[in-house]
């Protein structure tokens, strides 16, 4: 896909950006900034605090007011820790890059000592950890003000944020539709305008799926980039990572700067970058070799609107000077999918049995949902040899991807195989076979899991919009350890086809 003869690159950039922008704004209202939470990203808010144009307390109370007004409609708050945030300000905030900016943690294996972490599960109702996560310490050192935790599906096991503990989290673009999962509460809060960025995690697409569903930027970092512990420094055998969903690319980069790096006891860490991630914003990415992957490796169908969003992004990349050609890595997705299920199921089963032993609660449908019970049953059947073979299969997949990526800088694909679904479509019910549910969930999100299986960084960029007015994300996956290239490209796309003022009508 090369530049058309007789058409200047400037004309191509303008034409492709206009095409994407027109599709993206269709059915959406451009925001009319009236206060800092509307008109500034997280870095912009921090600058206002530094210049004393607004105080940390004023920002916190404004975010709390928005949360109180909007949570009844969209149900994104699992817990309210308003006084915790107020106390942090009263005690004096560190002079970090985000000093005074409100922040929400995801209610999933992310701990503040003494505050509840319930993991979206009745089985963990009231659980109060004795430790604070290393990531939380870095978030607080950066100056963020934590004032609550966001909703998740139980244990983060599905691509929609619906659970029996908190209820259904609804998409601000259309409350009848999902926000995605498992960081659906975080994405809903940011999309609704409560705050410009929020904590998120990703074990199979859980940053990128909600970012796509809610029209946000979502970067999944490389394996080992951001701390996972304590008490463990690895999630789901290395499938899971922490980061954020954001409105702006520069926020994502600066948050990664504030949180990245090995933690005490790390078994491995991503390569240390030569420069800060924020320094990549505005840098020309060079002429990238882009592999356009329109069909999932597993061969499942893709909605034409998602395919067209990826094609439009490819045309935009071409207009920016990048070389794009259709190409896909050869991966045994059946083997990789089965391996992931062994790792996830084994971890879930072990954790639930440990929780049952510690609390005396019996594992069953009164405390755990059908999806979790399915993983517990699956994990209990797995043997040590199954686990070793699963690990070997994922390593083989990572090697195959590394060989493919020797020829390309990034892989471009749809983020999801369909626009945001209606609530209730991808939950497991007691009368649904667990294996069939797994196939259905994988069919909705067949592209995102590859980056978790191989450890690579990947990002969902909000470049598309469906005819029904719901966002469609486009995914770019980079080489392991090379978030820098993704961020340079993301900033270039953000400049060429801005999404800053594209907000849902609320």
Of residues 24, 121, 133, 182, which has the active-site annotation? 182
Spatial distance between the Cα atoms of 368 and 361, rounded to a whole number of angstroms: 11
Q: C-alpha 21: how far from its chain's center? A: 23
Spatial distance between the Cα atoms of 426 and 418, rounded to a whole number of angstroms: 12
Q: Kindly report the CA angle at 263 between 257 and 266, in degrees rounded to 5?
A: 125
Of residues 206, 252, 445, 460, which has the active-site annotation? 206
Structure tokens at 79: 């817990």
Which has the closest alpha carbon to 417: 294, 311, 317?
Answer: 294
Spatial distance between the Cα atoms of 111 and 136, rounded to a whole number of angstroms: 7
Does the annotation mark 460 as catalytic?
A: no
Strand, helix or coil for residue 314: helix
Does the annotation mark 182 as catalytic?
A: yes
Helix ranges (DSSP H) in 51-90? 56-74, 82-90
Spatial distance between the Cα atoms of 215 and 471, rounded to a whole number of angstroms: 5
Spatial distance between the Cα atoms of 195 and 60, rounded to a whole number of angstroms: 10
Does the annotation mark 206 as catalytic?
A: yes
Q: Phi and psi dihedrals of 43, rounded to 5?
A: -65, -40
Spatial distance between the Cα atoms of 318 and 326, rounded to a whole number of angstroms: 13
Contacts of 18 (CB under 8 A, 6+ apart): none
Judge whether 280 and 253 are in contact, CB under 8 Å: yes
Residue 336 neighbours by CB distance under 10 Å: 24
Of residues 106, 149, 340, 445, which has the active-site annotation? 106
Strand, helix or coil for residue 476: strand
Catalytic residues: 106, 182, 206
């Amino acid at each position: 896909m090369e530049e058309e003869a007789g058409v200047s690159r400037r004309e191509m950039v303008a034409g492709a950006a206009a095409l994407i922008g027109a599709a993206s704004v269709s059915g959406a209202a451009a925001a009319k900034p009236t206060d800092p939470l509307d008109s500034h990203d997280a870095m912009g808010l921090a600058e206002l605090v530094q210049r004393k144009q607004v105080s940390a307390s004023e920002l916190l109370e404004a975010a709390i007011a928005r949360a109180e007004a909007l949570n009844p409609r969209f149900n994104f708050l699992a817990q309210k820790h308003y006084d915790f945030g107020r106390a942090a300000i009263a005690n004096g905030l560190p002079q970090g890059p985000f000093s005074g900016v409100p922040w929400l943690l995801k209610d999933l294996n992310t701990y503040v000592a003494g505050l509840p972490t319930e993991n979206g599960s009745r089985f963990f109702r009231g659980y109060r950890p004795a430790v604070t996560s290393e990531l939380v310490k870095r978030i607080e050192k950066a100056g963020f003000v934590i004032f609550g935790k966001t909703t998740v599906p139980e244990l983060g096991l599905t691509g929609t944020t619906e659970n029996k503990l908190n209820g259904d989290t609804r998409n601000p673009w259309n409350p009848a539709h999902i926000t995605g999962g498992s960081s659906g509460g975080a994405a809903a809060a940011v999309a609704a305008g409560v705050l410009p960025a929020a904590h998120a995690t990703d074990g199979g697409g859980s940053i990128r799926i909600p970012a796509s569903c809610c029209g946000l930027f979502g970067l999944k970092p490389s394996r080992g980039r951001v701390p996972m512990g304590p008490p463990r420094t690895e999630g789901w055998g290395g499938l899971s990572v922490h980061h954020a969903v954001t409105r702006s690319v520069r926020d994502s980069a600066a948050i990664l700067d504030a949180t990245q790096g090995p933690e005490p006891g790390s078994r491995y860490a991503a390569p240390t970058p030569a420069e800060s991630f924020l320094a990549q914003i505005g840098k020309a990415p060079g002429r990238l070799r882009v592999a356009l992957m329109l069909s999932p490796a597993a061969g499942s169908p893709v909605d034409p609107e998602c395919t067209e969003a990826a094609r439009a992004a490819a045309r935009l990349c071409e207009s920016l000077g990048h070389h794009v050609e259709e190409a896909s890595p050869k991966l045994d997705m059946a083997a990789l999918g089965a391996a992931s299920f062994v790792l996830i199921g084994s971890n879930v089963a072990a954790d639930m049995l440990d929780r049952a032993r510690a609390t005396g609660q019996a594992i069953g449908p009164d405390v755990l949902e059908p999806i979790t019970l399915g993983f517990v049953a699956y994990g209990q059947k797995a043997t040590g040899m199954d686990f070793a073979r699963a690990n070997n299969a994922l390593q083989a997949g990572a090697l195959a991807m590394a060989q493919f990526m020797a020829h390309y800088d990034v892989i471009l694909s749809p983020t999801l195989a369909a626009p945001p679904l209606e609530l209730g479509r991808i939950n497991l019910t007691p009368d649904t076979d667990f294996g069939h549910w797994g196939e259905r969930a994988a069919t909705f999100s067949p592209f995102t899991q590859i980056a978790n299986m191989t450890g690579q960084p990947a990002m969902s960029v909000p470049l598309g919009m469906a005819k029904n007015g719901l966002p469609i994300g486009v995914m770019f996956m980079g080489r392991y350890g090379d978030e820098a290239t993704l961020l340079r490209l993301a900033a270039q796309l953000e400049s060429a086809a801005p999404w800053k003022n594209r907000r849902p009508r609320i």
